[in-house]
Chain A
Amino acid sequence: MYRRFLAGESFPPRVFLPHLCYLVRATKLPFSEREVVTNGSDTPQPSRNRLANIFTDVQFWVPVAVLVVGLLLLEWIR
């Protein structure tokens, strides 16, 4: 483009598209990769992604295990 300008050619009229970029959504990150939004200025980031943090938390698996056992017990009693 600049070479053509230096050679004396005029620029073709610029056409401004009506901000097409606003019509296209930014790529949505999967849930596991989104950042945690906090209010503090010292916002820390989780060390790993969120789903990994949940699935490696024993406080998640204990209620899950108890729920599964409860459902099996209910099914057995019925």
Chain B
Amino acid sequence: MSATSTTAEATNPSSRSRTLQLLGIFSGLTAGAWLGAAEAPTKLVTLGLSPMVISLIMVVGVFFARWSLPALILGSSSIRADARRCPHLIIWAILAGCLWAVANTLTVYAIRDIGLSIAFPLWNSNSLLGILWGFLFFNELRSAGMRRWLGVLGGTLVMCVGAAILAIASSGAHTAGANPMHGVLAALGAGVLWGTMYIPYRKAYLSGMNPLSFVTFFTIGELGMMSTLSFGTLGAQRLFAELSAARGIIFWLMLGGFIWVIGDLFQQYAAKYVGISRGIPLSNTNQLWGLLWGVLVFGELHGRSTSTYAQVIGGSLLMILGVGSIALSSASQQENTQWRAAAQRESDRYGLASDFVEARLDGRQSAGEAVPSRGVLDWIFVAFATAVFIYFASVASIPNLPANWTPALFLSAVSLILLVACGLRLWRTTRFQ
């Protein structure tokens, strides 16, 4: 960002607000690309493992990424400072991690009982719940006007329809499980849990907590709950037996978790700068990217009928239309004032300094705040996480799965370009605050 534009933003709050809104939209779209790409390494896993074990290994990769990436980007001193300022949010972060883990487990049962084509649109309803919670608790879409309401709600509904068409087109023939009612309830339950998980997200960002600090505590709940569920479901003996059998593929699953964290970090910034009512639908574009990986790289729709391809194109266009509608309905100045009122409520309730919260909402450091720095502990985190990944990479077996490498390279390049462009934009505008 040029010095001229920075000065202009400093003197004109509405200009700064617009910049942050655009940044939030960009973050949401980048999140979609990386969350979708996270599915690619998991497709390499063809061994008949329990879904619970697959989830657990991915969450372990997520755990390492969530501790090492924030340490690398800002340093743990910044995380400690955030924890001292808003210790109450640690509880919410752990709670959000638990919600994620239970929702993720429910999706396993939903897919088993009703198949992805029905389950996916059901849990994708999380974006509608996000709009409700955003409106009720955080003043989102208040004083927004009819046009923005229609843009966000209409866009989300269109995206849900598009997602449903894509899910139906991309799923194979599914044999219904023993209890379809269980599947429907599991999918709806996952949607409710994931939609509610955004309450802690938004609360943290209205209180001025850095997304990088939030995810560090989030993952404690995530790993704790996932481990409890795995032990509870499989029992220690079977769990360790499966983990040891999966030694050759642990790297690919952990890599999937790592990529997922990168996407999730951008999702956090989207929730921070455009709120949950807009941030969730934008990052739900991951389905589109997952489909691109599946179709172009792994040839998932190879040999399918023309009508299937028509469904895929139609569903994708609907999703893009919904994204466009939401992106064009960014918050007005009046709505921004309502957001600040919600932030003020948090400040008053939990005794947070208004200038600190105000500064963090504007994506900058408050006066007198120490500049984040990395210490020895941070490098130890990073080195340890790297060593773990290198170890599992050295024992990993290369799956024998036909894949088209040209589109894989192309999609990887696009994802990397988005990562660098959005990362730089975040750094220049907010210094990751």
Chain A interfacial positions (CB closer than 8 Å to B):
31, 34-47, 50, 53-54, 57-60, 62-64, 66-67, 69-71, 73-74, 77-78
Nearest 10 pairs between A and B by C-beta? A40-B353, A46-B351, A38-B353, A36-B351, A70-B102, A66-B196, A40-B355, A73-B189, A77-B182, A70-B193
Interface of B is mostly: helix
Given known A-B contacts A36-B85, A73-B189, A77-B186, A64 and B95 have beta carbons under 8 A apart: yes
Contact of A44 among B84, B197, B351 (CB under 8 A): B351
Number of residue pairs spanning A and B whose beta carbons lie under 8 angstroms apart: 116
Given known A-B contacts A50-B87, A63-B200, A70 and B356 have beta carbons under 8 A apart: no
Does B273 sit within 8 A of A, measured CB to CB? no
A77 CB contacts on chain B under 8 angstroms: 106, 109, 179, 182, 185-186
B233 CB contacts on chain A under 8 angstroms: 78
Chain A nearest Cβ from B226, distance in angstroms: 12
A69 CB contacts on chain B under 8 angstroms: 189, 192
A45 to B352, CA, bound (A): 8
Q: Which of A36, A37, A38 has the most CB of B within 10 A?
A: A38
Chain B interfacial positions (CB closer than 8 Å to A):
84-88, 91-92, 95-96, 98-99, 102-103, 105-106, 109, 133, 137, 179, 182, 185-186, 189, 192-193, 196-197, 199-200, 203, 229, 233, 347-356, 366-369
Contact of B355 among A42, A45, A70 (CB under 8 A): A42
A5 to B428, CA, bound (A): 72
Show 23 residue pairs from A and B whose CB-CB distance is below 8 angstroms, ordered by the A residue. Answer: A36-B350, A38-B85, A38-B353, A39-B355, A39-B356, A40-B355, A40-B356, A42-B355, A44-B348, A46-B350, A47-B349, A58-B137, A59-B137, A60-B92, A64-B95, A66-B196, A70-B99, A73-B106, A74-B102, A74-B106, A74-B186, A77-B106, A77-B109
